[in-house]
Each structure stands twice: as structure tokens, then as C-alpha cells.
Chains A and B, each alone.
Chain A
Amino acid sequence: MKNHTVFPHSMKTYEEINKKIEARKAVVLTADEIIDYVEKKGLDAAAKEVDVVTTATFGPMCSSGCFINFGHSKPKIRMSEAWIEDVLVYTGIAAVDAYLGATQLRHNDPANMYYPGDFTYGGGHVIEELVAGKKLQLFALSYGTDEYPLRELRTYFTINDLNQVIMVNPRNCYQNYNVAINCSERPIYTYLGYLKPGMKNLTYCSAGQLSPLLNDPFYETIGIGTKVWLAGAQGHVYGEGTQHCPNVERGENGVPMEGGGTLALTANMKEMIPGYVRGVSLKGYGISLALGIGIPIPVLNPDILKRTTVWDRDIYAPVIDYSLDYPQRNSHIVCRMSYEELKKNEVIINNKVVEVSSLSSYSKALEIAEIVKDDIKKGDFLLSKPIKRLPVEQGINSLVVRKKN
């Protein structure tokens, strides 16, 4: 891949598309609908006609959480430790600011002490309940200072009592993802669910042809500053996501055949819609947070449109043994499989029938792509031009465990 640092040439501009949106005249299709549409109309005609293609995804995204400002109690406290519904929040920032992370376990959760642990409640569930408007308990401790004398506090609050609740997710929307399988003779419990021994089932986790970065494989329109629909709130991409790694093996269509790029997203949690922010309990693994995300792609030129017509048949994911190769960071893959194959009830691997599970909801993703489409058509969602392109040439480091000298 060439080291592009500039944005692609435009046939249409963001300004022109936004004017059409404001006039409620924009032509918008989902990434699901666009496939047949371009097939029927031809690429160039469709590129002139269509202004925006909406993409979406819904699935667990562990690297998520939110910054909270509680407001000051009387007398004031400088929280040194705090828990919401017994879930620890990070308070190593200003007095009544905290960060609540999605995977944080509840205090006294036995975790995997009695394997496999159930992990029924944690950070992801607190975030779900916050958005749902539930009344939650805050317990905070402090060492006490001259200006912040209070040393202990217990109260109850809802999201409306908070000054700010800003979701800040360092890694969402993985461009593509591993398919997990278990080649060993013992059952394993992973963040991709329970995997039966002897390759009896597998789990994939991607919205495939609807997924944002699979429709913009070279980050030509989705960049830093791009406006996104994050669980109902209008937020934006604030940076490259952690582990963003465009230097991966790609198909002829340029689509990554493994992880690839990621996005760091932020939005105001007070504007979110409950059903799109859901706590996740993964037996034997822990807690996560499932999020619904929609990203519109402006049809600036025919090439950009062409890339949005990618379909499940041409998107491949690596099937990886989560009993050995994944934990040991071996590069071995069992095989590659297209999302078209994965969306069948069962697949054949090494002459064995393997049943298929998924942790990404295509149904919800489709719902979100439709919502964003409608919002744009109504003139309620304008597009924003990225202020900086995501890295298109970049690898990933591993953690080296080394001696001090």
C-alpha cells in the first residue's frame, strides 16, 4: 500500500453533500442496499446519484468506558477511591472526575476462582444502567485535605445528576476480526464464548459487509474528526484506535484479512439510546460492553463507492485456535473463511462439521444503518470532513518481557 497522507480526489465535496442533506435531498443507502443498487445502475451513474452510504456494527467492544464528573458534595471530597454499584472507577484524576471502564469486575466477584466464573455484573452493566436512567450507588473514600475535608461519601444518583458523562473508547470498530475455534480436547471459555473441544463450534465477530472499516478499507473517508453515530449520540472519531494496524494481509479488493484498523470514539452518554449500550457477561472470561455504532461514508468519487459494495463473499477472516495459537501468540491459522460461509449454520473445516456462533449482531447493525440513513435523510445528521487521515502504513509492537540490563 502506498503511503497516502492526503485525502482522495473528490467528484463531490463534503460541503455539497451537506447542503443536500440540509435541503433534505440527499440520496442515502445502507451498505447492505448499495450492493444491488450499484449492480443495477452501474458504478459511475450510482456514484453521481448516491451521496451517502451508511455502515454499522453492534458487538462487544472491551476498550470502552466513560469519564464522569459527579459534581461537588458539601463539604467537598477529593475522591481517592470510588465505586459505582460496587464497581471500581479510576479516580487518579481531578477531585470528582472518574473513569469507568467496561471490563471492570464488581468488588468481591470471585472471577475464575470457581472456574468458569459467571461474571454476572461489572463495568459494562453499570454503563448500560447509567444510559437506561437507573438510580445507582456511589461510594467514595478519600484521605482528606484542607480544601477537600470529606473522607467518605455514599449517595445515589442517575445520569441526569451528573455534570458530564463522556464515553471515551480507545478501541472500537475493529476493521475485521479473528474467528475463534478450539482444536484441543478440553472445553475453553473465551471472550468469543464457549468453544467446544475438538473443533465442534466456532465464533466470529464482525458485521461483515455492513461493518464501517470494511467499507472504507484505506480510511479515505473515516478519519480523525469523522462524525459517528455512537449508540444514538452524535460523536466522533478522536484518534486512531489502540492496536490500529493497517499493515496486514489484504485481499485483492484491499480489504484486510485479519484485524487491521481500529477507531477511538467519543460521544456524550447523556444522548445515548439504552438498547445500543449493553453489558456483556462472558462465562470464564469476564465483562464487556456491546455498542451500536453507525458511520456514514460520503460518496466523494466512484472508487469510494466501489469499496462500499464489498459483500460477505469477498471478506475473509482467519480461523484461529484459541486453545493454543491465540494465547501463545503463534502465527498459525487454521484456515481463512469468508463471512458468506460463516453466515451459514455450519461450515466444514478439515472434513469436520463445525457449528457457527456469532457475537456481533447483524440484525442490530442493519437497524442502526437504517436509523443513520433516516437521520441523514431528515437533515438531522450532517457529515464532517476528517481533520487528519488515520495511519495507512503502520505495524504493531508486541510486549517484550526483558531483563533490566
Chain B
Amino acid sequence: MATKKICLFLPKSEMEKPVIYHLVKDYDLVINIFRAKITAEEEGYLVIDVNGTEENIEKAMEYMRDSNVILNETNRGLQRDPDKCVHCGNCLSHCPTKALHIEDQRTRKIEFKEDLCIECLACVRNCPFGACYSIF
């Protein structure tokens, strides 16, 4: 069994498709939704964890590509611009999972461990330098 975090973009043409239903029903995947913004007549975004066999996950990815669902390359709806980050450390007490953290106590640079990010967007609300942002 494997878990994969993916960020889906549903163009307006695909908004009617029950994508999650198919992931569960046809590929036997367990879905955990971090964040979703799906509004009728508009574009939609979904950030999810899929859990299942590697084979089924691969097939599900194939299904989504075939149905014009765009898989975000970084698999994240939350982005961090390393050029904008000044490593002040304001995010540290706001990130609940310690995805944003300091590894080297001497240089005190802020590192971002993507796997731990649950996309709560606390960093987006709190970064004084606009280094963290959401793609939707």
C-alpha cells in the first residue's frame, strides 16, 4: 500500500465529473481531502491524499490524465518561494505540523518538509514577506 499527495486542477469542462467517486469506486482508493475549492460554472482545485496499492494509484492517475484533469506537477496547492523567504522564523509558531522548521541551529535557515504540510494555510496568513502562497 502507498500514500500519495496530489493536487488536481479541474478545468471548467471537467467540473461535472465525479472524480473522487471514481477514485474510490473504480480504483479502491482511500481519499483524504486536505483542501478543495469546487464551484459550479468555475474551475476547481483539490488537494488530496490517496491511499491504495501502487498499481491502483498509477491507474487512477492515468484515468485522471485521460479525463483532462490536470495534475499539478509539484503535487501541492501550497507553494513556498525560496527567493522571497528571508528566514525570519515568524512561521515557526504557526505551522502546526512543523513542516516549516529549522534544521541547522547555527544558520537558522527555514526548511520546508512538504510531506508534513497539511495545507492549513497558516503560513500564508502569517508570512510578512509573502513567501508562502496558495495556487488557489
Contacts and interface: CB of A to CB of B under 8 A. Distances in A.
Given A280-B128, A283-B126, A358 B92 contact: yes
The secondary structure that dominates the B interface is loop
Interface stretch (A147-155, A171-179, A361-369): A361-369
Nearest to B102: A345
B125 interface: yes
A60 interface: yes
5 contacts: A281-B130, A290-B128, A357-B91, A361-B88, A363-B110
Given A60-B128, A343-B105, A363-B108, A357 B86 contact: no
Contacts of A361: 86-89, 108
Interface residues of A, number: 33
Contacts of A375: none
A238 interface: no
Contacts of A281: 128-130
Interface of A: 32, 58-60, 120, 193-194, 196, 200-203, 278-283, 288, 290, 343, 345, 355-364, 366
B35 interface: no
A278 B129 contact: yes
B93 interface: yes
A59 B108 contact: no
Contacts of B87: 361-364
Given A357-B94, A359-B128, A366-B107, 6 more contacts: A120-B130, A193-B128, A201-B94, A280-B129, A288-B128, A364-B86
Contacts of B92: 345, 355-358
A22 B92 CA distance: 43
B88 A358 contact: yes
B80 interface: no
Chain B, interface size: which category? Answer: 20 to 34
Nearest to A345: B92
Contacts of A58: 86, 88
B78 to A, nearest CB: 18
The secondary structure that dominates the A interface is strand
A357 B128 contact: no
Nearest to B108: A362
B108 to A, nearest CB: 4
B72 to A, nearest CB: 25
B90 interface: yes
Contact of B126 (A193, A200, A280, A362): A193
A200 B94 CA distance: 10
Interface in B25-82: none
Contacts of B109: 363
A194 B125 contact: yes
A162 to B, nearest CB: 25
A181 to B, nearest CB: 11
A281 B133 CA distance: 14
Given A363-B107, A363-B109, A357 B129 contact: no
